């Protein structure tokens, strides 16, 4: 598409008040790439919902990758795949390049699959290799380490599993019975059904405790994760600060623990793209929706009953 045949308006979802989770589908004038900035104009083919993302503006107002003011209307959906329409002169991208998350070229995936990757894969990458202490090296970066993942069937969890296995770690995790075979297919060696398992009792068994625990769900699961992590080990949550769920009885347990907000990084995304293109990783796509069905799609994503990402495909 050249700039001369661009539409004058676009359809978009808007979160009018950052403090409210309410969103609307509306039509706005086509955004124009501001001159002398790093802005790119992108023809969007697919976008993905991240569970809970509509709560982030209220909960993490100062955090990257979503800096905004209290009153500014926001466009939700941080995962995006599309084609560059216009780019600044010094950009590594040019008109016609196919990209995801404006980080790297999208490789060989279909649009809906491509939109599932950036947020979840980078969050998992940073949980393991930036905050979790493993090295991002195939077969050796996690060798000898045991990793426990909560919500291993979720969008972030399924990437944590795949990347940890790729690095050579032994990976165990929680999922419902319905998703047990799926997470095993990703490389998990033991799956606990979070609905019925006594995680605390299991953690007392010989050789079960983990060097690194990555929690993707928070709440009760995070509380149980404190029993699973080894003394002196590391506990990372992408949902809430782990100390908020530290059991009283484990008050003296020494564990490095951390919550973080993912920071976009083109190099990491480039590495993930390479691995996906080599066929080593599976993008996990729960379902594809038209934009008009945004209320149903968000309800599905927020149900906590998804296997991977809920995606909007835009037939533009």
Ligand X SMILES: NC(=O)c1ccc[n+]([C@@H]2O[C@H](COP(=O)([O-])OP(=O)(O)OC[C@H]3O[C@@H](n4cnc5c(N)ncnc54)[C@H](OP(=O)(O)O)[C@@H]3O)[C@@H](O)[C@H]2O)c1
Q: Which residues bind ligand X (CB under 6 A)?
A: 50-52, 119, 123, 150-151, 153-157, 174-176, 178-179, 194, 216-217, 221, 238-239, 260-262, 304-307
Q: Which is nearer to ligand X, 12 or 176 (CB)?
A: 176
- Residue 116: CB minimum distance to ligand X, A: 10
Residue in the shown chain whose Cβ atom is closest to ligand X:
154
Q: 162 vs 174, which CB is nearer to ligand X?
A: 174
Nearer to ligand X, 87 or 149 (CB): 149
Closer CB to ligand X, 112 or 238, in the complex: 238
- DSSP letter string over 131-197? IS-----TTTTTTT-EEEESSTTSHHHHHHHHHHHHTT-EEEEEE-GGGHHHHHHHT-SEEEETTT-
* CB of residue 244 to ligand X, shortest distance in Å: 14
- What is the rounded distance in angstroms from the CA atom of residue 163 to the CA atom of residue 128? 8
| Closest distance to ligand X from the beta carbon of 217 (Å) | 5
Find, among 42, 48, 41, 32, the residue nearest to 294 by Cα.
48
Task: Give the nearer residue to ligand X in terms of CB position, either 124 or 255.
Answer: 124
Distance, CA of 50 to CA of 80 (rounded, Å): 11
Nearer to ligand X, 83 or 173 (CB): 173
Could you give the strand order of the β-sheet that contains 146-149, starting from the edge strand earlier in sequence? 190-193, 170-175, 146-149, 210-215, 229-237, 256-259
Q: Which residues are registered as beta bridge partners of 212?
A: 147, 234
Q: In the structure encoding, which two tokens stand for residue 210, read together?
A: 């983990």
Minimum distance from CB of 12 to ligand X (Å)?
21
Maximum Cα interatomic distance, the chain, rounded to a whole number of Å: 68
| Cβ at position 56, least distance to ligand X in Å | 7
Are residues 122 and 272 in contact, defined by beta-carbon separation less than 8 angstroms?
A: yes
Tokens standing for 1? Answer: 């598409």
Cβ proximity to ligand X: between 138 and 177 the closer is: 177
- Residue 29 has phi, psi (to 5 degrees) of -60, 150
Residue 311 CB, shortest distance to ligand X, in Å, is 12
Question: Alpha-carbon distance 269 to 197, whole Å?
Answer: 35
Shortest Å, Cβ 15 to ligand X: 15
φ, ψ (nearest 5 deg) of residue 76: -75, 180
């Amino acid at each position: 598409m050249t700039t001369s045949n661009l539409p004058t308006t676009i359809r978009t979802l808007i979160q009018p008040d950052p403090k409210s989770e309410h969103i609307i589908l509306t039509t706005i004038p086509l955004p124009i790439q501001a001159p002398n900035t790093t802005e790119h104009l992108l023809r969007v083919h697919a976008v993905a919902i991240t569970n809970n993302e509509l709560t982030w503006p209220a909960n993490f107002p100062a955090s990257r990758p979503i800096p905004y003011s209290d009153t500014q209307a926001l466009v939700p959906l941080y995962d995006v795949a599309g084609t560059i329409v216009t780019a600044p002169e010094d950009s590594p991208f040019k008109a016609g390049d196919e990209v995801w998350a404006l980080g790297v070229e999208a490789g060989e995936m279909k649009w809906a699959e491509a939109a599932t990757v950036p947020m979840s894969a980078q969050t998992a990458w940073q949980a393991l290799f930036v905050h979790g202490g493993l090295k991002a090296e195939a077969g050796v970066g996690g060798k000898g380490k045991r990793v426990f993942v909560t919500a291993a069937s979720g969008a972030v969890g399924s990437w944590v599993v795949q990347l940890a296995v790729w690095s050579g770690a032994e990976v165990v995790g929680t999922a419902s019975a319905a998703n047990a075979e799926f997470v095993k297919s990703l490389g998990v060696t033991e799956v606990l059904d979070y609905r019925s398992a006594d995680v605390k009792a299991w953690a007392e068994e010989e050789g079960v405790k983990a060097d690194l625990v990555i929690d993707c769900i928070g709440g009760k699961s995070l509380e149980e994760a404190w029993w699973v992590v080894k003394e002196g080990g590391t506990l990372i949550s992408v949902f809430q600060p782990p100390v908020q769920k530290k059991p009283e009885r484990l008050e003296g347990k020494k564990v490095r623990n951390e919550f973080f907000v993912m920071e976009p990084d083109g190099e990491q995304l480039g590495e993930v793209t390479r691995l996906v293109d080599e066929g080593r990783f599976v993008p996990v796509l729960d379902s594809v929706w038209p934009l008009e069905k945004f209320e149903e799609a968000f309800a599905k994503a927020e149900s906590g009953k998804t296997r991977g990402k809920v995606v909007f495909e835009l037939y533009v």
